Structure 1
Amino acid sequence: MAGELLIDEPLDGVRRLTISNPDKRNALDHGILDGIAEAVRGAGEDGTRAIVLTGAHGMFSSGYDIGDIPEDVFAAEAERLVAHPFTSAIDALDATDVPTVAALPGHTIGGGLELALSCDLRVARDGIKLGMPPAKLGLVYSHTGLRRFLHAIGEPRTRQLFLLGRNIDAREAVTWGLLHEVVGAEDLDGFALDWAAELAANAPLSVRGNKRVLRALLDAEASIDPAVEQELIALRQACFASDDFAEGVRAFGEKRPARWQGR
C-alpha cells in the first residue's frame, strides 16, 4: 500500500503535515512527496502562518521508498523518485515564506533527514537516531543535499555523517546542529505546537523578510561552475545504474553486508 500525507490544522494559522506509511517505516513515496510540495506551496496566501512537519507511528521517515522497486526498472524508478518528487518537496520547503518546524517522533534517516533539515527549526524525541546511509547503499548523494549539510553542521561533521554512514542519537545531533531541541516523547507534540504558535504570532513582514535574507545569503555562497555542476550531476546519475547501488539496497533490506564490486 502507498503511504499518505495527513493534513490538519491543530491551531489557528498552523498547518500540520504528518507522514504516514506504516508498512515501510514512513518511507517517502511519490504521493507523500507530492503532497508535501503541494501543501507547502499553498501555504501563506491561505492564512497559514506556520507549518509543522512530523511523522505518525513513532517514526519520522526512513528515507526514500526504493526497497520494493523491481530489478528490471530499478535504476530508472529510483532516480525518478529522487530526482522529481523529492526535489520538489525540498524546493517547496526552501522557497516558502512560512516558517517551518520539523517534529521528529522517531528515527530520521536518509532523505527523511534532509527533509527535516530543510525546515527552519527541528525538535526531536529523546532517544531517536538520525543518519545518512548513502555509503552503505552505494549512493552518490546530490551536491545540493550535501551543501545543505555543510551549511548546517560544517565540513568535518558532514564528512563523518556521510562517509562513515553511522547513525547518531538525538542528543549528539543537537551538539552538531542537526537539531535545535530534544524533548521527552510525551512533550514533543506540545513543544512543536508551542513553537509553531509563537512563529505564527510573530510579525509576518519580519518573518518573511528574514527568511528571504537568509535564503539570499546562503544562495550567494552556493555558486558553482556550471561545468563542474554538470559533472557532479552526471556522477550521481551514473550511480543509479551501478551494480553496487542495486546490491547496496538489496543488502540493506536483507540486513547483511554488501558485496561491493566497484562498478
Structure 2
Amino acid sequence: MQEPVLVRIEGHVMVVTINRPQVRNAISLAVAQALAAAMAELDANPALHVGIITGAGGNFCAGMDLKAFAFEGVEPVIEGRGFAGLCEAPPRKPLIAAVEGHAVAGGFEIALACDLIVASRSASFGLPEVKRGLVASAGGLMRLPHRIHIGLAMEMALTGDPITAAQAQGWGLVNRLVEPGDALRDALTLAARIDANAPLSVAASKRIIQGSRTWSDDEMFERQRSVAQVVNKSADAREGAAAFAEKRAAVWQGR
C-alpha cells in the first residue's frame, strides 16, 4: 500500500513529501495525520533543525481531496493543528516549501504556512475556493496579505485566478525561483545555509518575526527581550563569540 506521506532525514533536515501524485497530492485525512506527526517530530527532535515539505510526481499540492469531502464529508483537519495537520500550528522550527507544479487552494495555504518558498519556474499558485463555493479557511486569506500587497492578495482571493511562479517572485512571495525539477534540491541548499547557524537563534528569530505582527509599539521591545535574552545567555551564544574570536567554525549544542 502506498504511503500517503514520505519522510526522510538528511543530516539535520527533515524532508516531508506528500505522496499522492495520482490526485496531484490532494490532502486526505491520512495525509493530514501523517503531516501532523512529522511536524511534531520536527519540533520534538533536537537533532532536527529545518523542515522541507514538497510533493511527489511534479506537483506540490492541489488542496483538499474534494471527492472525499463531497461524497464522504471528510475534512482533512487535525484538532489543534488545523488543515493538513499544520496550517493552524506550523512547527516552531523553520519550514521550507519546495514547490513544483500546482500549489493551489489548500496546497497554497500549506505553502503560506511555511516560512520560505522555493519554486520551480513552472509552478503556479492560487486560491480558487470562490470558484467552488468555498472559502479559503486554512490561513490563506490571513497570511497572504502579510506576504504580498493587500490589493494583490484581494485580487487573488476574489477572482480565484492563479498566478505564475514568476509573478509570485515579483510580488515577494517566492524566495528562490529555479528550473523545473530543481525545487527540492535548491530547498535543501537553502536549508543547509539555515542549518549552519545556531538553532536556538534561528528558532527565536522566527518566533520574533511572526509574533511581532501583533505586538504594539509600546510592548514590542519588551516582548522581543523575553525571547532574545534566553538565547543571548545560552552556551551557544558564548560558543559563537569564542568561535569568532578564534577564527574557527562554531560547534552548536542547542543550549
TM-score using structure 1 length? 0.74
Q: Assess if the C-alpha contact under 8 Å between 2:122 and 2:164 holds in 1.
A: yes
Which of residues 122, 138, 146 is equivalent to 2:141?
A: 146
What does residue 200 of structure 2 align with?
205
Cα separation, 2, equivalents of 1:92 and 1:42: 13
What does residue 42 of structure 2 align with?
43
Cα separation, 1, equivalents of 2:209 and 2:161: 30
Cα separation, 1, equivalents of 2:78 and 2:35: 15
Cα separation, 1, equivalents of 2:43 and 2:129: 35
Identity of aligned residues (%): 33
Cα separation, 1, equivalents of 2:109 and 2:199: 26
Counterpart of 1:61 in structure 2: which amino acid?
A: C
Counterpart of 1:22 in structure 2: which amino acid?
A: P
What does residue 12 of structure 2 align with?
13
Whether 2:182 is the aligned partner of 1:183: answer no
Any idea what the Cα deviations from partners look like across 1:153-177, whole Å, max 9, x if unmatched? Answer: 1310111101111111100011122
Whether 2:58 is the aligned partner of 1:86: answer no
Backbone CA RMSD of aligned residues: 2.2
Counterpart of 1:5 in structure 2: which amino acid?
A: V
What does residue 93 of structure 2 align with?
98
Q: Assess if the C-alpha contact under 8 Å between 2:121 and 2:177 holds in 1.
A: yes
For residue 97 of structure 1, report the CA deviation from its aligned partner. 2.6
Counterpart of 2:48 in structure 1: which amino acid?
A: T
What does residue 248 of structure 1 align with?
none
For residue 62 of structure 1, report the CA deviation from its aligned partner. 0.5
Which of residues 106, 111, 116 is equivalent to 1:111?
A: 106
Any idea what the Cα deviations from partners look like across 1:178-225, whole Å, max 9, x if unmatched? Answer: 21111002432321111111111111121111111112212448xxxx
Compared with structure 1, are the counterparts of its residues 4 and 13 closer, same or farther at alpha carbon in structure 2 (3 Å cutoff)?
A: same
Alignment partner of 2:147: what SS?
helix
What does residue 58 of structure 1 align with?
58
Compared with structure 1, are the counterparts of its residues 176 and 38 closer, same or farther at alpha carbon in structure 2 (3 Å cutoff)?
A: same
Which of residues 153, 157, 161 is equivalent to 2:156?
A: 161
Cα separation, 2, equivalents of 1:144 and 1:129: 18
Any idea what the Cα deviations from partners look like across 1:68-117, whole Å, max 9, x if unmatched? Answer: 4454x54xx3xx43575516411332xx2311111002111100001011
Alignment partner of 1:199: what SS?
helix
TM-score using structure 2 length? 0.76
Alignment partner of 1:108: what SS?
strand
For residue 3 of structure 1, report the CA deviation from its aligned partner. 6.4
Alignment partner of 2:88: what SS?
helix
Q: Assess if the C-alpha contact under 8 Å between 1:16 and 1:53 holds in 2.
A: yes
Cα separation, 1, equivalents of 2:59 and 2:92: 27
Q: Which runs of 5+ in 1 are unaligned?
A: 222-263
Which structure shows the bigger proportion of residues in helix conformation? 1
Cα separation, 1, equivalents of 2:20 and 2:138: 28
Compared with structure 1, are the counterparts of its residues 52 and 44 closer, same or farther at alpha carbon in structure 2 (3 Å cutoff)?
A: same
Cα separation, 1, equivalents of 2:55 and 2:139: 24
Q: Assess if the C-alpha contact under 8 Å between 2:14 and 2:52 holds in 1.
A: yes
Whether 2:192 is the aligned partner of 1:214: answer no
Cα separation, 2, equivalents of 1:43 and 1:63: 22
What does residue 127 of structure 1 align with?
122
Counterpart of 1:19 in structure 2: which amino acid?
A: I
Compared with structure 1, are the counterparts of its residues 219 and 82 closer, same or farther at alpha carbon in structure 2 (3 Å cutoff)?
A: farther
Compared with structure 1, are the counterparts of its residues 39 and 188 closer, same or farther at alpha carbon in structure 2 (3 Å cutoff)?
A: same
Cα separation, 2, equivalents of 1:88 and 1:23: 21
Any idea what the Cα deviations from partners look like across 1:100-149, whole Å, max 9, x if unmatched? Answer: 11100211110000101111110111122111101111112338431111
Alignment partner of 1:43: what SS?
helix
